[in-house]
Amino acid sequence: MQVFSVKGMSCGHCVRAITQAIQARDPAAEVQVDLAGGEVRVASQLPPAALLEAIREEGYEAAPA
């Protein structure tokens, strides 16, 4: 499980956008978004850099937690 600190998430749309961006690259990825905590947890075969890129392409600031 990889954990990222993500800024700018505020609603269900943010959750869907991030989840879909990651699953577009890895359909088998499990994505858990903690809006209140500003964290995204991902179980994926993709390297952390690819996951960060997917999140950032959606317009969010993201870094390893």
Amino acid at 33: V
Domain that holds residue 13: 2-64
pLDDT, tens digit, 9 for 90 and up, residues 35-57: 999 999 999 999 999 999 999 99
At 55, which CATH number?
Answer: 3.30.70.100
Distances (CA, A) of 54 to 3, 13, 38: 14, 16, 16
pTM of the model: 0.93
Task: Give the number of domains in the chain.
Answer: 1
Candidates 49, 28, 52; CA nearest to 40 is: 52
For the record, the structure tokens of 22 come out as 């990651």
- Helix axis angle, 12-25 to 48-57, nearest 10°: 130
pLDDT, tens digit, 9 for 90 and up, residues 14-36: 999 999 999 999 999 999 999 99
